[in-house]
Structure 1
Amino acid sequence: MARVALVTGGTRGIGRAIVERLVADGISVAAGYSGNDEAAEALKRETGAMVVKGNVGHIEDCRRAVATIEAELGPIEILVNNAGITRDGVFHRMTPEQWSEVIRVNMDSLFNMTRQVIEGMREREWGRIVNISSINGQKGQIGQTNYSAAKAGMIGFTKALALENAKKGVTVNCIAPGYIDTEMVQAVPEKVLEGIISQIPVGRLGRGDEIADMVAFLAGERAGYVTGTTLSLNGGQYLVG
């Protein structure tokens, strides 16, 4: 019987690439999303993945999503915490709403979603949790104190949860992508994007499938000895001062 995976923020960008790869690997996949019904329907039609709507910042939405998925597909054995938003602004002008919304969706969601599946993983003595952080959670970024704080917190969450669950066969790992060729990045003004790429030693943006390949490994049977780690996939950008 195929393993069951949930990918939050799974209908576009990196999330969609992850869903496509896991489906190709024979996993039964559900993709969570919060607002774009058109993208969700396209994903469902083109990949056969299940789609579930809800806000990962609200714990009741997470409870409903997991219950719906498990009723249709079975127990969730792989969780990819990918959902995230940005509300950029320099800190001395940042509003409480900009701060709290990013923390709620990017950070509180880790508790809201992982809490729904961790007990089942422990009982079955097998589970894979992969958290999608960011290079900006490792090095910081101007205008993103909220986002950087949440993504850095994700790394600490990963390490602690890995320690708690290692003996139960549940691995917890983190991937920190650099700039990936998604709709969000392509919306950056051309000159700004050129400046970003000039700081990436490999000389290009990353691809969603490159992140998905790493997720697929961490979510698989052969990754049982990998836990508590953060993998930086950024084309060497973190090395640049």
Structure 2
Amino acid sequence: MSGIVAGKIALVTGAGSGIGRAACLVLAREGANIIAADQCGLAAQETHRYGVGGKKHICLSVDVSMSESVNMAMSDIIDNYTVPPSIIVNSAGITRDNFLLKMDERMFQKVLDVNLKGTFLVVQAAAKAMIEAKITRGSIVNVASIVGRTGNIGQCNYSASKAGVEAFTKTVAKEFGPFDIRCNAVVPGFIKSPMTDAVPEKVIQKILPHVAMGRMGRPQEVAEVIAFLSSERSSYVNGACVEVTGG
């Protein structure tokens, strides 16, 4: 078996579409055993059929905002593989956009529950399992967003959640580095995905001139960086937040 993550077990949340699905496909190409996890079980199954099918790969329905769901998923993974995953990709994320004065508390809280709290719950469960199993050379990759640095009109909840993911990533790197478990983040820019498909064309045309490469990114272009951060090729990269924005 060849590939930069050959033989490793990788849990990818938000695996049903976009960057999460692309991460599953790239990590599978590079030899990993994939657990495709998504709140929408059918979407996870579609990813499984789309390009990571086979006995070594499984799909799970997981609500990352609920600790019971996350812990049950981790137990199911260990039952299936006998060991916990050594690669964790936190790609689960949602938007609930509106202007701040029109945003209700539920919209704000739901985005934080999935994007930030969900990342926390998955990392907590996975790191605990890795340490108990004495797994070394573990790698956690969180998906942040450039709007967590720049802010964005109508996305006070999303931008706050993604800024939190970056700060959280740096803290995880400090706490688990001594256990040989690294934690990094990718910071995507404007990526073509179901999330951006809802953006009106006139808004897209206003954004593109500010991208040096003059186009939207592809999910696979983010996934390739995720695969690098998941592998031993980045063995001394820890606590980094890598922009994938086209400039």
| TM-score (normalised: structure 2) | 0.91
Q: Percent identity?
A: 37
Root-mean-square deviation (CA, aligned residues, Å) is: 1.3
- Aligned to 1:231, the other structure's residue is in SS state strand
After TM superposition, the structure 1 = structure 2 runs for residues 225-236 of structure 1, keeping only pairs within 5 Å, are: 225-236=236-247
Query: Take 2:38 and 2:203, find their aligned partners in 1: how far apart are those partners?
Result: 29
2:61 maps to amino acid: K
- Aligned to 2:22, the other structure's residue is in SS state helix
Q: Is residue 54 of structure 1 aligned with residue 62 of structure 2? A: yes
In structure 2, the residue matched to 1:9 is: 14
Query: Take 2:242 and 2:60, find their aligned partners in 1: how far apart are those partners?
Result: 28
- Count, aligned residues: 235
Q: Is residue 169 of structure 1 aligned with residue 180 of structure 2? A: yes
In structure 2, the residue matched to 1:112 is: 121
CA contact (8 A) 1:169 1:224 kept: no
After TM superposition, the structure 1 = structure 2 runs for residues 126-145 of structure 1, keeping only pairs within 5 Å, are: 126-145=137-156
2:242 maps to amino acid: L
CA contact (8 A) 2:41 2:61 kept: no
In structure 2, the residue matched to 1:80 is: 89
After TM superposition, the structure 1 = structure 2 runs for residues 181-192 of structure 1, keeping only pairs within 5 Å, are: 181-192=192-203
Query: Take 1:183 and 1:144, find their aligned partners in 2: how far apart are those partners?
Result: 16
CA deviation after TM superposition for structure 1 residue 36, in Å: 5.7
- Structure 1 stretches of 4+ with a deviation exceeding 4 A read none
In structure 2, the residue matched to 1:202 is: 213
| TM-score (normalised: structure 1) | 0.93
Q: 2:107 aligns with which of 95, 98, 101?
A: 98
Q: 2:166 aligns with which of 134, 155, 161?
A: 155
Q: 1:65 aligns with which of 70, 73, 81?
A: 73
CA deviation after TM superposition for structure 1 residue 189, in Å: 1.7
Query: Take 1:170 and 1:40, find their aligned partners in 2: how far apart are those partners?
Result: 26
2:129 maps to amino acid: G
Q: Is residue 220 of structure 1 aligned with residue 224 of structure 2? A: no
Q: Is residue 41 of structure 1 aligned with residue 33 of structure 2? A: no
Query: Take 2:20 and 2:188, find their aligned partners in 1: how far apart are those partners?
Result: 12
CA deviation after TM superposition for structure 1 residue 10, in Å: 0.7
> What residue ranges of structure 1 are gaps of 5+ in the alignment?
237-241
CA deviation after TM superposition for structure 1 residue 41, in Å: 2.4
Query: Take 2:60 and 2:147, find their aligned partners in 1: how far apart are those partners?
Result: 28
- Aligned to 1:124, the other structure's residue is in SS state coil
- Aligned to 2:163, the other structure's residue is in SS state helix
